[in-house]
């Protein structure tokens, strides 16, 4: 799917909560609490390794859409088979590393079933110097290059930092963006390097915001997880209105 979806979404439905916890019990408690306040839940390597992917996906689907953050990176045959397996679980979205190559991304797309495929470009924990060391170029250059490969492969979208969203939107009409590295002004940055506030990320053109600790472990002065999600949704709503989206 290369045609851009006209995302007529409520602000809360643009929020993907990262359930970066080690147990299904912890994930269940968070998802049960937040189910009516966010659009989807991201389950990642820690949780699916600890508890088993089929069980995690089955449980989380009770509360909303599931983004399976497996970050597949392997030869095309392996990525294709893994993509088919996770798509059969009924996930809303899963991801593959763009750096695994065009063939691997194409294999993911060919075996995605009804799931969306997003390609990971450059992790938001990687700063400029490390990006040069790992990828041989600066983040803005390498992200656009990797996004171009994802677009050619037929991926539905890419995962990038909010710093690169604007360039991707201008360069690849139809490529959706899911953006980690989002931190409200009232939250700690933690290990994220290339960050932006929720409102600024939306104004830059982001379609979905992947947010973990600011919602799952908000500062005490902010309130509980529900209040944190509500504050972020309000900021998204305002940004959508101001940007005319």
Q: Cβ(155)–Cβ(119) under 8 Å?
A: yes
**Which sign, positive or negative, has the C-alpha torsion 128, 100, 206, 171?**
positive
The pLDDT value recorded for residue 79 is 98
The pLDDT value recorded for residue 62 is 96
Q: What is the mean predicted confidence (pLDDT) over 177-205?
A: 82
Tell me: the pLDDT tens digits for 143-185? 999 999 999 999 999 999 888 999 998 899 899 999 998 889 8
The pLDDT value recorded for residue 6 is 45
* Residue 119 exposed, middle or buried by CB count within 10 Å (0-12, 13-18, 19+): buried
Domain boundaries, the chain: 11-243
Question: Which helix (H) or strand (E) element contains residue 30?
Answer: helix 24-34
The predicted model scores a pTM of: 0.92
The pLDDT value recorded for residue 230 is 97
How is domain 11-243 classified at the CATH fold level? TIM Barrel (3.20.20)
Active site residue 2: no
Please identify which of the residues 2, 12, 42, 71 carries the catalytic annotation.
71
Q: Mutual orientation of helices 76-88 and 102-110 as an angle, nearest 10°?
A: 30
Q: Cβ(218)–Cβ(224) under 8 Å?
A: yes
**Looking at 42-56, 112-126, 174-188, which range is the least confident one?**
174-188
């Amino acid at each position: 799917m290369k045609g851009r979806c006209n995302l007529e979404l409520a602000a809360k439905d643009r929020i993907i909560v990262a359930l970066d916890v080690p147990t299904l019990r912890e994930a269940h408690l968070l998802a049960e609490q937040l189910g009516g306040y966010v659009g989807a839940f991201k389950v990642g390597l820690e949780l699916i390794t600890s508890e088993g992917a089929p069980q995690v996906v089955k449980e989380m689907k009770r509360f909303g859409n599931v983004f399976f953050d497996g970050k597949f990176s392997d030869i095309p045959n392996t990525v294709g088979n893994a993509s088919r397996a996770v798509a059969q679980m009924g996930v809303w979205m899963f991801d593959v590393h763009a750096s695994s190559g065009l063939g691997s991304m194409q294999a993911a797309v060919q075996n995605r079933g009804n799931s969306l495929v997003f390609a990971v470009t450059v992790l938001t924990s990687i700063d400029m110097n490390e990006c040069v060391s790992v990828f041989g170029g600066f983040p803005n250059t390498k992200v656009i290059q990797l996004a171009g490969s994802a677009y050619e492969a037929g991926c539905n979208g890419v995962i990038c930092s909010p710093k690169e969203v604007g360039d991707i939107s201008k360069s690849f009409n139809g490529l959706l963006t899911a953006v980690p590295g989002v931190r409200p002004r009232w939250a700690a940055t933690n290990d994220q390097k290339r960050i932006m506030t929720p409102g600024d990320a939306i104004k830059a053109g982001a379609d979905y915001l992947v947010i973990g600790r600011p919602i799952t472990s908000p500062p005490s002065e902010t309130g509980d997880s529900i209040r944190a999600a509500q504050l972020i949704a309000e900021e998204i709503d305002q940004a959508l209105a101001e940007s005319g989206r």
